Amino acid sequence: NAGVTQTPKFRILKIGQSMTLQCTQDMNHNYMYWYRQDPGMGLKLIYYSVGAGITDKGEVPNGYNVSRSTTEDFPLRLELAAPSQTSVYFCASSRTDYTEAFFGQGTRLTVV
Amino acid sequence: RKEVEQDPGPFNVPEGATVAFNCTYSNSASQSFFWYRQDCRKEPKLLMSVYSSGNEDGRFTAQLNRASQYISLLIRDSKLSDSATYLCVVNTSPTGNQFYFGTGTSLTVIP
């Protein structure tokens, strides 16, 4: 059982470039989330989705976009990369909005 | 005020020691509570859920005090493999639809 899978694991971007972080889960969870984690800080919610076709902003959405065309996939798009987006990004999913979340292995992104 | 606050530590304890972590949360409507463990440069993994009556899983005991909006984690007989960062997580659903994470408490168990 793969759980939550994120790709890529590492990426270096130049300022102004764009990229998509991929996330897929095989647990048939309705709820999916994108977080970023900066050194010494807690995880901050970027976007979340409560089901296919439904997305909503979290605490730090600026500079990011998401889509949820299927239950399994929840990609995160960075359109114009900035150094402030250097971080570790985690995708997560949960069965309901009050049960535990399962995390992918993370994507370490550096913007230079 | 932060949604979830934890003492960042670090806690450095000898093998076999008992150590306790505390966490407070600000939203009285919070519905569910968890402790996660995060190893260096890895993803958070669920350690245990926290129930109102308190719950135990082997050497780990979690307590919830809703009146004081306080969560605790007790680790008995610490092992070297317990060294990690422990994250307190609170879910405010149905008002929030999201998990709020503490910044984590760092634990190092020393031989």
Is residue A83 reached through a cis peptide bond, with omega within 30 degrees of 0 on the bond before it? no
Distance CA(A74)–CA(A87), nearest Å, equals 19
The predicted structure's pLDDT at residue B92:
79
pLDDT tens, per residue, chain B with 111 residues:
788 999 888 999 999 999 999 999 998 888 899 999 999 989 999 999 998 888 999 999 999 999 999 999 999 999 999 999 999 999 876 655 678 899 999 999 999
Distance between start and end Cα atoms, chain A: 36
Q: Is the peptide bond before B44 cis (omega within 30 degrees of 0)?
A: no
- Distance between CA atoms of residues B44 and B39, nearest Å: 7
Q: Looking at residue B73, what is its pLDDT? A: 97
Q: Rounded to whole angstroms, how far apart are CA atoms B106 and A82?
A: 30
Averaged pLDDT, groups of 10, chain A, 112 residues long:
92 97 96 92 91 93 97 96 97 89 96 96
Beta bridge mates, B89:
B34, B101
Contact in structure between B109 and B11 (CB atoms under 8 Å): no
pLDDT the model gives residue B96: 52
Please report the pLDDT score of residue A21 as a whole number. Answer: 98
8 Å CB contact of B99 and A45: yes
Binding-site residues on chain B for chain A (CB distance < 8 A): 4, 8, 31-32, 34, 41-46, 49, 87, 89, 91, 93-94, 97-104
- Give the per-residue pLDDT at B3: 86
Q: What is the pLDDT of residue B110?
A: 97
Closest CA to A82 of A21, A19, A5: A19
